[in-house]
Amino acid sequence: MTDAPDVPEVIDGAAVAGPDGRLRCPWALSTEDYVAYHDEEWGRPVHGDEALYERLSLEAFQSGLSWITILRRRPGFRAAFAGFHIEKVAAFTDEDRERLLADPGIIRNRAKIDATMANARVLAEWAPGELDALIWSHAPEPGTYPAPKTVADVQAVTPESTALSKALKKRGLRFIGPTTAYALMQACGLVNDHLETCVARSTP
């Protein structure tokens, strides 16, 4: 998993039985905070421009950090960025930037804050559903990649994520390289990188 690299020590990186006896991806058991995210969110299809803008923004903030750092601050991010409502963030001012830089509830990185605000301004000019359509147009055909058996089989970058990164950058979006794009694809269900024997792989 590209956005949750902190995994417990496991044999061969295979799925691990949790306290309930069910097999899960090893990273899901590295902290209690991950279990619900792994079981209920990660790899499930996400649609809607603002839901995807939120995920895109959080993945950008995660760059260089552990995903758990972002996950634990997600309520703070949502409060700071007006629920990731695109038009509201697009209207943020220099005063909002200074407010964000002083907010301990988020990651106070100027470049990432500026990118999140700039991306909202770009997306505010797009037609409704355009971001959703662009991102999902880069989902690989079903069966393109086999189910990973161990964490070593999980990729960090694919041709599709590279193409998605290029497409988003061409349209003016920032802080979305191929690795971040693939983390977005994993998190939003464009690909299913739950391990082959993981309970969440086939759970509806």
The reply to whether 125 belongs to the active site is: no
DSSP conformation letters of 152-173: GG--S--HHHHHHHHHHHHTT-
pLDDT tens, residue by residue, 100-110: 999 999 999 99
How large a percentage of the chain has pLDDT more than 90? 89
The better pLDDT of the pair 182, 4 is held by: 182
Distances 4 to 10, 76, 159, 167 between C-alpha atoms, Å:
15, 19, 21, 25
- Tell me whether residue 76 is exposed, middle or buried, using C-beta atoms within 10 angstroms of its C-beta: 0 to 12, 13 to 18, 19 or more: middle
In whole angstroms, what is the distance from residue 165 CA to residue 141 CA? 18
Give the pLDDT of residue 204: 64
Give the pLDDT of residue 10: 43
The better pLDDT of the pair 203, 119 is held by: 119
* Active-site residue, selected from the candidate residues 27, 34, 37, 42: 37
| CB neighbour list of residue 92: distance below 8 Å, 6 or more residues apart | 117, 120
* Active-site residue, selected from the candidate residues 50, 54, 59, 160: 59
Report the chain's mean pLDDT, rounded to a whole number. 93
How is residue 101 written in tokens? 């830089």
* Model confidence, pTM: 0.92
Residue with tokens 């997600």: 74
pLDDT tens, residue by residue, 110-162: 999 999 999 999 999 999 999 999 999 999 998 899 999 999 999 999 999 99
* Cβ atoms 122, 156 nearer than 8 A: no
SS3 of 5-61: the string is CCCCCCCCCCCEECCCCCEECHHHHCCHHHHHHHHHCCCCCCCCHHHHHHHHHHHHH
Residue 2 scores a pLDDT above 80: no
What's the rounded mean pLDDT across residues 7-31?
A: 81
Residue 6 scores a pLDDT above 50: no
* Active-site residue, selected from the candidate residues 27, 42, 53, 67: 67
The reply to whether 37 belongs to the active site is: yes
Residue 90 scores a pLDDT above 80: yes
Vertex 45 angle, CA 175 and 142, to 5°: 100
In whole angstroms, what is the distance from residue 67 CA to residue 173 CA? 21
The reply to whether 59 belongs to the active site is: yes
